[in-house]
A and B are shown apart, each in its own frame.
Chain A
């Protein structure tokens, strides 16, 4: 569980860093490529999501509010993965917006994010199980 949360936390902190070190418009361009949100919503997500990723990543690494952080991570990854599968199925050759602007959606990015989603779900389940076991004792 320690390895899972540190690894996922580090990935989220890195993902946030790649977005926060560049102008928000670069991430906004990736979000807009999915053609799902109106421009105002694209700007809002581009400006706030990296900070949320950073917060979740730091919480996972620190081990604070683990169940909530793990569940938020799994939820975020499920949304990201769903959107990427949709774009890939539609044949859209667009940047996924995961780690900067040059990460074009492919079976490799799907495999990577799918693995991360599986890890996040496992971490969420483990953190809730541990809590239940602790309460039962």
Chain B
């Protein structure tokens, strides 16, 4: 009987558990035991993702991550409609192996318009790496470990389901809410404040 109840509880909680599992610690920010977790499913070539990265993310970091209230998890969700987003994700995840995810992600979003037009993704990535780091990132980018991680995260996104980027999955305990759209920071802040109450 207890086993059946346990299995039922696991089944009911599975979406929430699956949603915050499989975390690459090099693609996170903040305290892992923070009460609220925010997963960001993003595509480096998506203009709305750049807007979120440039405008809302710094505020989220300042108000909630730096204060230990939110644990941020970055998830790759390269969309097939974008020609270079998969390559960009490969480099970013490879850079995460050297704890360099954030500078590479920042550079990719900073130069998004240029590399999405000319296809020179590597030039942007290389601009924030030393020569030895460049060699390591280049070698790892097409490796099974990096490709496998991206595939897992894309599958996690499909399970949410992520239907547009960026999509945030905001969770506290068993409460999990996918948030998409323009991701107005004032509304996002209100949601997180309500979850923290």
Pairwise interchain contact A93-B164, C-beta atoms closer than 8 A: yes
Pairwise interchain contact B161-A29, C-beta atoms closer than 8 A: no
Task: Collect the chain A residues with CB atoms within 8 Å of residue B177's CB.
Answer: 22-23, 26, 101
23 residue pairs of the A-B complex, CB under 8 angstroms, read: A23-B177, A23-B191, A25-B179, A25-B188, A25-B191, A25-B194, A26-B179, A26-B191, A28-B187, A29-B179, A29-B183, A29-B188, A30-B181, A32-B181, A35-B182, A95-B164, A95-B180, A95-B181, A101-B179, A101-B180, A101-B181, A102-B180, A104-B164
Task: Collect the chain A residues with CB atoms within 8 Å of residue B183's CB.
Answer: 29
Report the nearest A residue to B191, measured CB to CB. A25
- Whether a CB of chain A sits under 8 angstroms from the CB of B186 is yes
Interface residues of B (CB under 8 A from A): 48, 160-161, 163-164, 177-184, 186-188, 190-191, 194-195
Pairwise interchain contact B191-A102, C-beta atoms closer than 8 A: no
A32-B180 Cα distance, complex, nearest whole Å: 11
State whether A42 and B180 are in contact (beta carbons under 8 Å apart), knowing that A95-B164, A104-B164 are contacts in the complex.
Answer: no
A32-B177 Cα distance, complex, nearest whole Å: 17
Pairwise interchain contact A102-B163, C-beta atoms closer than 8 A: yes
Q: Can you name 4 extra interface pairs (CB under 8 A) apart from A25-B179, A101-B181, A102-B160?
A: A22-B177, A39-B186, A42-B187, A103-B163
Task: Collect the chain B residues with CB atoms within 8 Å of residue A16's CB.
Answer: none
Pairwise interchain contact A94-B191, C-beta atoms closer than 8 A: no
Task: Collect the chain A residues with CB atoms within 8 Å of residue B187's CB.
Answer: 25, 28-29, 32, 39, 42
Pairwise interchain contact B191-A33, C-beta atoms closer than 8 A: no
- Contact residues of A between 2 and 33, Cβ < 8 Å to B: 22-23, 25-26, 28-30, 32-33
Report the nearest A residue to B162, measured CB to CB. A102
Task: Collect the chain A residues with CB atoms within 8 Å of residue B188's CB.
Answer: 25, 29
Pairwise interchain contact B182-A32, C-beta atoms closer than 8 A: yes
Interchain CB contact (< 8 A) of A25 among B48, B163, B178, B190: B190
Task: Collect the chain B residues with CB atoms within 8 Å of residue A94's CB.
Answer: 164, 181-182
Min CB distance A135 to B, Å, is 47
A32-B181 Cα distance, complex, nearest whole Å: 8
Min CB distance A60 to B, Å, is 29
State whether A29 and B194 are in contact (beta carbons under 8 Å apart), knowing that A102-B161, A102-B163, A104-B163 are contacts in the complex.
Answer: no
A103-B160 Cα distance, complex, nearest whole Å: 13
Task: Collect the chain A residues with CB atoms within 8 Å of residue B180's CB.
Answer: 29, 95, 101-102
A93-B179 Cα distance, complex, nearest whole Å: 14
Min CB distance B3 to A, Å, is 30
Task: Collect the chain A residues with CB atoms within 8 Å of residue B182's CB.
Answer: 29, 32-33, 35, 94
Pairwise interchain contact B194-A32, C-beta atoms closer than 8 A: no
A33-B51 Cα distance, complex, nearest whole Å: 13
Q: Mark A45-65, 1 if CB is under 8 A from B, else 0.
A: 000000000000000000000
Q: Mark A75-105, 1 if CB is under 8 A from B, else 0.
A: 0000000000000000001110000011110
